[in-house]
Structures are given as C-alpha cells and as structure tokens.
Amino acid sequence: MLDRKFIGYEFEPSERTISRWKITQFANAIRDTNPIYYDLNEAKKQGYKDIPVPPTFFTRMAYSGKKNFYATLGIDYQKLLDGGREFKYYSQCVAGDTITYQTKVENFVEKEGSRGKMDIVTAITRGKNKETNEKIFDAIITLIVFH
Amino acid sequence: MTNKIINYKELTEGSELPEVKSDPITRVQLVDYASASGDYNLLHFDESFAKKTGLKGCIAHGMLQMAMSGSYILNWAKGGTLKNFKIRYSAPANENDILTFKGKILKKYQEDDEKLIEISVLTETQEKRITTQGSAIISFNT
C-alpha cells in the first residue's frame, strides 16, 4: 500500500522548448502523414503559427522534475499496470513555444479486484506557455498498483 | 486522407466514423516511437527480453496506439479542435499487428455557445482483439 502522505505532492516544475524537428520525428513515428507536421508552409496555410504538435506529443512531459516519479512514490514496477491516459487541451502548442509543466499527485484510492487489493493512483501534469502564461494541456495518468 | 471539412449540422448522434486500417506495426516503427517518445522499455523492441517476461514477442507501446488514435480522430474531424482525449488499455497489440480504428458519435451538444461532439474510439487487431478504448470531445465552429 502506498504512503498516503504523497497525496497532493507536487514535483518540481520543468520546462522544454518545442522544436520542429522533434514534432516531425514524433509524427513520423506514429506514421501520421499530415503535411502540417512536416511542412511549415502547409501548417501556416492551415492557420498555425508554426508546425503544430500532435495530440499526444505531451506524453514526453507526463512527469516533471528531476526526481523519478515511481521511485519517489515507492511504486514497484512489478506491481504496476497502466490504467490509461487523459489529455485536456486548452490552446494549441506549436514549434518554438516553451512549455513549463508540473506534476501533482492527485489521489490514491484503494480498491479490491480479482487480483486482490490495489491502489488506483491519479497524477496530473499541467502545461502552460512560458511566455503568455496560457494553459496548454493537462495530462492525467491513471496507474494501478497492486499491494 | 480526406480533405473534407466537417459540417457540424450534418453530424448525428449514433453515426459511425469511417473505419481506417493501419499498416502493420513493424519493429522499425516501435524503435522510432521509443526514440520519439523517450519510452525505451525493452518489451517494445527486444524480442528475447519480451519473451523472458512471458510474452510471445514484442508489444506496441500503449501510448503509440493512443497517438495513432489521435491521428485517426484529427484526420476525420477536419475543421474541429480537440478538447479532451482519453484512452484505456484493454489488451496489448503485438508487433506486426494491423490496427483497425473505429469511432462513433455518442453525443452532440452545446456548452457556452460552443458546438461540441463526444465520440467513442477503439482499436482492434486483425484477430478482432480490442486493444484500446476511449473517447474524445471535439469542438467545431463550422
């Protein structure tokens, strides 16, 4: 059972500047051929200031801070199942933007299933544009940790 | 890929999105995604490691499937803006699986003058094994 003192725990904020090359690399890896991810002119033609990020690009930013998320919370990988992801979008991020993001442990809830007792862990990472302070995304992670 | 802009008025609850099939998920793609996402879990590209953990072979990253579902949604929802997107994993997809993406309009509604739809999405393999299920909210100003 995870230590309840970590409910509400906030990791250090991090920041990252989004490059065109990283977006293009990501789009290629997911085999998305939409030209807005490869061609600046095409992105601009479709109303973007620069090359936009695909919706799950922020998966790289699911955890902020220098400390390892799992080690900090005392989560054993052998007892861990990924329960799913949720993204909320507030404004479009494009290449050249610098994003600051921070992870907070939202809750631990104990449940009992066919494999015995478990903690359902939810953590939220909020990302915003460093210059404009505009909210960009929330990434919510749900993890299942067996006792 | 189509270029047809969605006309919000023509969307109806219960109607299905056109299905799309992926190319087989190759080892090269799994390596590409490991590098693009920073998720270097060996299960995804080291077959002998994957077999040691009891799997038959390499499995796709769950987040790769979510990313491909995201492309499926945006490619359909031309002219729309994604507001919310969630996925849960049902079963792993294996290397060389071909994913079929399916979707359905669950709800059409307005909130603070914003024209919205909620859709369900799922991915299944060539053996009809469902690997992810989720939903998305999209807003339109068309």
List the CATH number of the domain containing B114: 3.10.129.10
Count up the domains in chain A and report the number.
1
What domain range is B30 assigned to? 14-140
Does the pLDDT of residue A4 top 90, yes or no? yes
Count up the domains in chain B and report the number.
1
Residue A131 exposed, middle or buried by CB count within 10 Å (0-12, 13-18, 19+): exposed
Q: Do the domain assignments include residue A85?
A: yes
| CATH number of the domain where residue A100 is located | 3.10.129.10
Q: Do the domain assignments include residue B41?
A: yes
Which residue(s) pair with A99 in the sheet?
Answer: A16, A129
Beta pairing class for B16-21 and B100-111: antiparallel
Question: Cβ of A49: how many Cβ atoms within 10 Å?
Answer: 12
pLDDT tens, per residue, chain B with 142 residues: 556 789 999 999 999 999 999 999 999 999 999 999 988 989 999 999 999 988 999 999 999 999 999 999 999 999 899 999 999 999 999 999 999 999 999 999 999 999 999 999 999 999 999 999 999 999 998 7
Residues from chain A that touch B91, judged by Cβ atoms under 8 A, are none
Question: What pLDDT, on the 0 to 100 scale, is given for residue A51?
Answer: 98
Interface of B with A in 109-138 (CB under 8 A): 134
What domain range is A100 assigned to? 4-18+63-146
Q: Do the domain assignments include residue A11?
A: yes
Q: Do the domain assignments include residue B1?
A: no
Question: Cβ of B52: how many Cβ atoms within 10 Å?
Answer: 11
Does the pLDDT of residue A94 top 90, yes or no? yes
Q: Do the domain assignments include residue A81?
A: yes
Q: Do the domain assignments include residue A71?
A: yes
Phi, psi of A57 (to 5 degrees): -55, -35
Q: Do the domain assignments include residue A39?
A: no
- Tell me if B70 and A56 make a contact (CB, 8 A cut-off): yes
Q: What's the rounded Cα separation, in Å, for the pair B3 and B124?
A: 25
Q: What's the rounded Cα separation, in Å, for the pair B73 and B66?
A: 10
Q: Do the domain assignments include residue B68?
A: yes
CB A138 within 8 A of CB A122: no
The band of A115, judged by pLDDT with boundaries at 50, 70 and 90, is confident
Q: What's the rounded Cα separation, in Å, for the pair A22 and A33?
A: 15
Q: What is the mean pLDDT of residues A46-63?
A: 94
Give the CA dihedral A27, A31, A35, A36, nearest 10 degrees: -30
Q: Choosing among B2, B23, B41, B63, which should be mutated to test the A contact, i.e. which has the most A CBs within 10 A?
A: B63
Q: Do the domain assignments include residue A74?
A: yes
